[in-house]
Structure 1
Amino acid sequence: APPSPRRTLLGRISLPERNYLAEALRTETVGGMILLVAAIVALVWANTFGSSYTSVSDFHFGPESLGLNLSVAHWAADGLLAIFFFVAGVELKRELVAGELRDPRAAALPVVAALCGMAVPAVVYTLVNVVGGGSTGGWAVPTATDIAFALAVLAVIGTSLPNALRAFLLTLAVVDDLFAILIIAVFFTEQINFMALLGAFIGLAVFYLLLRRNVRGWYIYIPLALVVWGLMYNSGIHATIAGVAMGLMLRCTRREGENHSPGEHIEHLIRPLSAGLAVPLFALFSAGVSLSGDALADVFTRPETLGVVLGLVVGKTVGIFGGTWLATRFTKAELNKELAWADVFAVASLAGIGFTVSLLIGELAFAGDEVTINEIKAAVLIGSLTAAVFSGVLLKLRVRRHRELHEAEELDEDQDGVPDIYEQGDPAYHLRMAAIHEKKAAEHRRLAQLAGAASNEPDSPA
C-alpha cells in the first residue's frame, strides 16, 4: 500500500475557523489591553495607597445565611472568574465538535503541546524547590497560560502573526484551561459538602434538560446558573467549575437554517463581558502586590518564587516547543514550509505569560499564608513580564516574514468578503478575477493612449 501523505503542521486553517478566530481574537485582544491596564492600576494602587487597596479588597458583602458573605477579592476570584471559565467551557466544546480538536489526528498536536507545556513547568518548579528546600505545594502555579494577556502582547508589539500560529496559540490555551480546571478541582478541594454538591449536580441536570428541550429565556437560565454556582461554592469544590460545566453543555453545532449555534451565539454575548469586565476586575483585586526592593529581591532568592519564574519562562517554552517537536517526530506531520521552528519557539515562549489562572492557583496553593501569596504573585508578574519581553523580541526578528504571510492570507482582490486564498479552486472566482484584470488592463491602455495623445500635441506658443 502506498504510504499515507504527511500532514502539514500549522498549515492553512479552514475559512469558518478563520472567521471564528478573527472575531474571538478581536475581543480577546481588546480584553487583554483592559487586563493590562487593570494590572497596572492594581500595582500602582497597592504600592501608593496600600491601606485603601487592602480595605476595599477585604470588604465583605453577601448573604451570610447562604454562606456567601465574601470579600470583594473573593467575589472576583470565585464569582467573576466563573464567567471566564464558562466562556472557556464553550470554547472547548466548540473546538471539540467544530474546531481544531474535532479531528483526533489534528487534536493530538495542541493536546500534546499543552500537556508538555504544563508538565515541564511543574517539574521545573518541583526541582527548584526540592534542591532549594522550599515548598512543593505551588507546583501548579506556573502551569497556566493567559490567552488574553498573550494576545494583548501581540497587539502591543504590532506583530501580524499568520492565522495558523494564532489558531495554535488559541487552541493551546483552550486545552490549557481545561487541564487547569482539572488541577483546581482535583488538587485544591480539601473538604466536600456532599449535600451541596448533589444540589449542584441536580441544578446542572436541570440546566442540561432545559437546553435539550430548546427552552429559551435568559430569565430562566441566569437564576438557575446563580443557584448552581452558589451550591458548587458551598460544596467545597472551586465555584468556577460550575461555569465550565455549564459551558460544555451548550450545543455548538449548527442546524439547518441557523447562522450560529446556540453556543456560538451565547459566547458572542458573554465573551466581551468576560474579557472586558470579569477578568480585569479579578486582576484589579489580585495583582495588587507590594513591589518593594526586598520583595523583588526575594523573588530570585526564595525557591518557591524562583520556581514560579523559571517554570513560566523556561518550563513553558521548553515544554510546548518540545511537545510540538515530539508530536511531529512521532506522527506523520511536517512543519508548514512557510514557517520556521523559530516561530513555534516564539509562540511557546509567549505561552509563558501565566497571569490570571496562575494568580488564582497561587492563592489556592498557599491559602492562609498572605506573605507567601504576595511573593508568589510578584513572581507570577515578573515571570509573565519576562516571557512577554522575550517572546516579543523573538517575534520581532521574524516580523517581516510574518507580515508577508498575513497579508497574503487576508488579500481579497475581488472584494467579496472572502480572502482569495480560500477561493483559488473556485471557477467563479477565476472568472471574477479575469474580469477585474481585463478592466485594469483597459484602464492602463486608456491612460497610455491619453499620454500618447498629449505628447503628440504641438507645444503651445510662449
Structure 2
Amino acid sequence: MRRAAEVWPLRPTVRYARTLAEALRAETIGGIIMLVATVAALIWANVSTESYEALRQAKFGPESLHLNLELVQWAQNGLLTIFFFVAGLEVKEEFVHGELANLRKAALPIIAAVCGMVVPALIYLAISAGAEGASRGWAIPTATDIAFALAVLAVTASAMPAALRAFLLTCAVVDDLGAIAIIAIFYTDRLNVPMLLAGVTLIAVYGVLQHRKVTSLWIYLPLAVAAWYFVEVSGVHATVAGVALGLLTRVTTTDQEDSSPAELADHYIRPISAGFVVPVFAFLSAGVSLGGGTLNAIFTDRVVLGVMVGLVIGKFLGVFGGAWLSVRLGLARLSEELHWRDMAAVSLLCGIGFTVSLLIGNLAFSQDPVRAQTVTAGILAASLVASILAAVLLHVRVRSRRDALEDV
C-alpha cells in the first residue's frame, strides 16, 4: 500500500529554524547591498567604459604560481569560492537537519528545483538553436540568485508565511548544488590531473579532520587555501573546492560544543559572503555599456533572447510545474497555509538569475567579450522583469490575505 504523501513544508527543528532565520536575514541584506553595487557598476560602465574595464582587467598576483589574474578573475575564482563554501554549508545543513533530511519528504522542492533547471535549459536551446556558439550558454538560465530573490520577497511580502521563504531557500540550495555540478562537468576546458589530485587529496584530508572532530582553525585555514590553489590551477573552476569543503564540514556537535563547526563557519563567513564577496563580484561583473548595440542585441540576438525567456518564463514553468507535478503524482501535499497563487509568485522569483548566471555566462563566452557583455545585459534585464512581476503578484497576494483575514 502506498504511503501517504507528506505535507510540505514539514515542521522544522528549532535548530534548523534558527539557521533558516539567520540565512534569510543575511541574504536579504546582502541582496540590497548587491543591488547597490550593480547600479554603481552600470553607472560607472556607462559614464566611463575605459576606466571601468581598466579596473576589471587590472592584474595582480604571483606569476610563478600561475595566479597573475585579472581583478574580475579574482572575484570569480577567488571570492566566489567563499560564496560557494557557504552554499556547501547550506546543502549539508539541509541534508542533515533541514528539509532535505528525508528525500521523500522533500520531494516538492527537489522536483521543483530540478524542473526549474531543466525547463529553462530546453527553452534556451530551442530559441538559440542555430546561433553561433549558442550551445555553450545552455546553463545560464538554470540558476536562481537567492540573495536577490529573498530581498524582493522580504521587501514586498514580509507578511507571507515563513513556509514560502523555506520553499524558496530549499529550492535555491538544490539549485546551487546543480549549478556547481554543471560548472565542474561542462565548463572545464583544460585539466591538469596531478594538480587536481593534489587538491582532491587536501579536500579529503579536510574531511577526515572534520570527521575526527579536530577544531583548530589554524589547521583548516591553510589547508583550505592550499586546496583552493590546487583546484584553481588544475583547470577545474575553483568554486568547486568551496562547495566540497562546505559539504565536508561537520554539522553535528559533541558534548563539549555549543555549536557545530558548520554553524560557527556560517555565523562568521555568511556576513562576509553576503555583504562583501557577492557585491564585489556583482560590481566587477554587472557593468555593461548600454549602448545601441547592446540594447539591440537584447531584442535580436537569439542567445540573449534564450537566456531572458529561459529565466523569466522557463524558470516559472519549471519551478511551478515541478511543484504541481509532485503534488499531482502524490509525492507531496502542499501545506494549508500556502496557496498555488503563492507558489506562482515565488516561482517567478526564481527567475532572478544573477550571481551564478553571470558566472556561467562569463565562463561560457570568455572567448567572446561582445557576446559575454550582451548576455550580461540580458541576465540583468530578465532579472529585473522577474523581480517586478513577482513583486506585483506578491503584493496582490498580501492584500488578498489581509482582506480575507478582515472578512473573518
How do 1:272-351 residues align onto structure 2 when only pairs under 5 Å count?
272-351=271-350
**TM-score normalized by structure 2?**
0.95
Distance 1:7 1:233 in 2: 42
Q: Read off the aligned partner of 1:86 and give its amino acid letter.
A: F
- State whether structure 2 residue 213 is matched by structure 1 residue 218: no
Structure 1: stretches of 5+ with no match in the other structure: 407-462
Instruction: Decide whether aligned partners of structure 1 residues 402 and 228 sit closer, same or farther in structure 2, where only a CA change above 3 A counts.
Output: farther
Q: Which residue of 2 aligns with 1:439?
A: none
The offset of 1:294, in angstroms, is 3.3
Rounded Cα–Cα distance in structure 1 between residues aligned with 2:104 and 2:404: 25
1:229 is matched with: 228
Note closer, same or farther for the CA distance 1:404–1:226 as it changes in structure 2 (3 Å cut). farther
| 3-state SS of paired residue (1:398) | helix
Q: Does 1:194 align with 2:193?
A: yes
Write out per-residue CA displacement over residues 242-279 of structure 1, whole angstroms, 9 at most, x where no aligned residue.
Answer: 10011011111233454322111111111001111111
Shift of 1:5: 4.2
Higher RCO (CA 8 Å, separation ≥ 6 residues): 2
Instruction: Report SS of the residue matched to 2:203.
Output: helix
Match of 1:124 in 2: 123
Correspondence for 1:387: 386
Across the aligned residues of Structure 1 and Structure 2, the Cα RMSD in angstroms comes to 1.9
Q: How many residues align?
A: 405
- 1:69 corresponding residue in structure 2: 68
Give 1:306's aligned amino acid. L
Check whether the contact 2:161–2:338 (CA below 8 A) recurs between aligned residues. Answer: no
Distance 1:194 1:134, change over 3 A: closer
Q: Quick one: which amino acid aligns to residue 359 of structure 2? A: L
Identical pairs, percent: 52
Confirm or deny that 1:360 pairs with 2:355. Answer: no
- Once the two structures are TM-superposed, the CA of residue 13 in structure 1 deviates from its matched residue by 3.8
- Decide whether aligned partners of structure 1 residues 404 and 212 sit closer, same or farther in structure 2, where only a CA change above 3 A counts: farther
The answer (yes or no) to whether the contact 2:358–2:376 under 8 Å persists in 1 is yes
Q: CA deviation at 1:225?
A: 1.1
Contact 2:115 2:318 in 1 (8 A): yes
Using the alignment, how far apart are the partners of 1:4 and 1:237 within structure 2?
43
Aligned to 1:95: 94
Q: Find the aligned partners of 1:13 and 1:216 in 2 and give their Cα distance.
A: 28
TM-score by length of 1: 0.84
Counterparts of 1:343 and 1:399, CA distance in 2: 9
- Stretch moving more, 226-235 or 100-109: 100-109
CA distance in 1 between partners of 2:92 and 2:200 (Å): 19
Q: Which has the larger radius of gyration?
A: 1
Cα distance 1:215–1:16, how it changes in 2: closer, same or farther (>3 A)? closer
Q: Which residue of 1 aligns with 2:83?
A: 84
**Does the C-alpha gap of structure 1 residues 400 and 332 become closer, same or farther in structure 2, counting only changes over 3 Å?**
same
Q: Structure 1 residues 293-302 or 67-76, which shifts more?
A: 293-302
Name the residue aligned to 1:444: none
Counterparts of 1:224 and 1:257, CA distance in 2: 24
- d(CA) in 2 for partners of 1:39, 1:368: 23
Contact 1:162 1:402 in 2 (8 A): no
Q: Assess, with a 3 A threshold, how the Cα gap between structure 1 residues 332 and 372 changes in structure 2: closer, same or farther.
A: closer
Q: Structure 2: any 5+ residue segments left out of the alignment?
A: none
CA distance in 1, matches of 2:204, 2:352: 36
The alignment status of 1:398 with 2:397, answered yes or no, reads yes
Q: Quick one: distance in 1 between partners of 2:402 and 2:270? A: 28
Residue 296 of structure 1: how far off its partner (Å): 1.5
- Letter of the structure 2 residue corresponding to residue 30 of structure 1: I
